[in-house]
A and B are shown apart, each in its own frame.
Chain A
Amino acid sequence: MPLKNPGIITVPLSFLVGIVVSLLAPEQSSQDAYLAAHQRMHLGPVGDAHIAKH
């Protein structure tokens, strides 16, 4: 292993493994919860309350 710091290998590898494993075995509950997560991510808990009202 010639590199002193392995970042250029391990960071992409970690992304790749995460993506491949996710595609091999889909998880419905995670996809269902994504919308809520997405809204909260950008609007915050306040956004949550607002959306819930409508």
Chain B
Amino acid sequence: MNALTLLTAVGAEATKEAVKTAKAATSLGQPNVTAIAFFFLFVSITLGITYWAARRTRSTREYFAAGGSLGSVQNGFALAGDYMSAASFLGIAGLVSMSGFDGLIYSVGWLVGWPVITFLIAEPLRNLGKFTFADVLAFRLRQRPVRIAAASGTLTVVTFYLIAQMVGAGGLIHLMFGLSYKVAVVIVGGVMLLYVLFGGMIATTWVQIIKAVLLLMGATLLAGLVLSRFGWNPLELFAAARDRYGSAVLAPGKLVASPLEAISLGIALMFGTAGLPHVLMRFYTVPDAATARRSVALATTIIGAFYLVTFILGFGASVLVGRETINSVAAGGNMAAPLLAEALGGTGFLGFISAVAFATILAVVAGLTLSGSAALSHDLWNHVVCKGQSPEHEQLRIAKIATVILALLAIGLGILFKDENVAFMVGLAFAIAASANFPALLLSMAWKKFTTRGAVASMVTGTVSAVVLILLSPPSGSTSCTTPPPSCR
């Protein structure tokens, strides 16, 4: 990156503020025919898949793990689809458009979590477990205490993450389609419920695969349109950004002020990824450890490529749309990518990108809900309440009841927490995942002397300390999804 900065800085006396874009008229926030058409197309296709999947979902193994029959390509795309949320698309592009180079810290943090999964987690997890990461702890520790602790950790992370996604979804859809906040939250919750309740992991997987492909296509197309304006040379794009905003856009700056803050955020983003229950659960959908390993490699490649593309989108938006315009539509820059799409491809392309963002949120909440349902049915009901004696059909029924409860909870909390700071919720979810789930999981795999008491103490300490310290942390000072990126991740 240094070389790049130098290259683009060569011979460039700042001709700042050279270009000033007139405040572009945008159709964001008005019902967009293309967006609605694409959205209905997506929902009808995915509901068709759900119908097909429902007929193949009869056992808990099919419901929670798609029968363990997915290939590495399917699971790789689904992992990427589970992980790349609307916020990493809209949020990182927005952050880069407003802060330049600094926006990369979130991309890097979220990407670097994947090698941690590859080298430390994926194979042991696949080999030791059945549906949830609590299975790994329970393999050699006492079942009930560790399952209660792990399921609590899972449900806490899932709840905060779900609230964040729902609040983010309501805000985004309100901005993009002009629907009211509540209607948006109910639609997201309702469609997600149909996927998960009837189609289980098979339907959820296909929703995630389709969403991953659409998101990659949409973002790449948009980046292509940006680069075509700069002779297909990213360096010229960076030079244009430097000409307009000064060379500071290409250097680390003020977004994360102190090194300690940067390391702390990095730790939460990295190890949080390896403690996210909905990501971990996906490793049970493949037949063996080798397939699990190949699917992580593919997912990491897709996610890495995607973050590189969002970097181009961020710089593209700051040059071609302009920071003032982006900020005037939504503070924090979350609408940078849609505005860029409109500027380059017109209302039709804006509609496509908006529908992709909607689909993205649906796929993420479906994965989250399914992992919460597995914790309730498999860990708490079957292994804690029934001591592992619950019959198959009963486990499946409990799982479906849990899914309905979680979906209603997500809708209710989404409406209730409308004005809650989304960044706060996501910070909490990642910090809890990193400090409650990850240490116990790693120690149980790697350390012979680890004990049941140690595992429970570690998970409780992680959850409590993360919650307390975040409550005491300085407010990041913004609400809803119009905030900076960590917000809607």
Contacts and interface: CB of A to CB of B under 8 A. Distances in A.
B469 A11 contact: no
Interface in A1-54: 1-11, 13-15, 17-23, 25-27, 29-31, 33-34, 36-37, 40-46
A7 to B, nearest CB: 3
B448 A34 contact: yes
Interface in B429-456: 430-431, 434-436, 438-440, 443, 445, 447-455
B8 interface: no
Interface stretch (B261-269, B310-318, B362-370, B377-385): B261-269
A32 B423 CA distance: 44
Given A21-B453, A22-B449, A27-B453, A11 B473 contact: no
Contacts of A6: 264, 268, 431, 435, 465-466, 469-470, 473
Nearest to A45: B127
Contacts of A21: 451, 453-454, 457-458
B461 interface: yes
* Chain A interface helix/strand/loop/mixed: helix
Contacts of A17: 454, 457-458, 461
Contact of A37 (B128, B438, B458): B128
B465 A10 contact: yes
B429 to A, nearest CB: 12
Given A4-B265, A4-B474, A11 B434 contact: yes
A18 B443 contact: yes
Interface of B: 123-124, 126-128, 139-142, 260-261, 263-269, 271-272, 288-289, 427, 430-431, 434-436, 438-440, 443, 445, 447-455, 457-459, 461-462, 465-466, 469-470, 472-474, 476
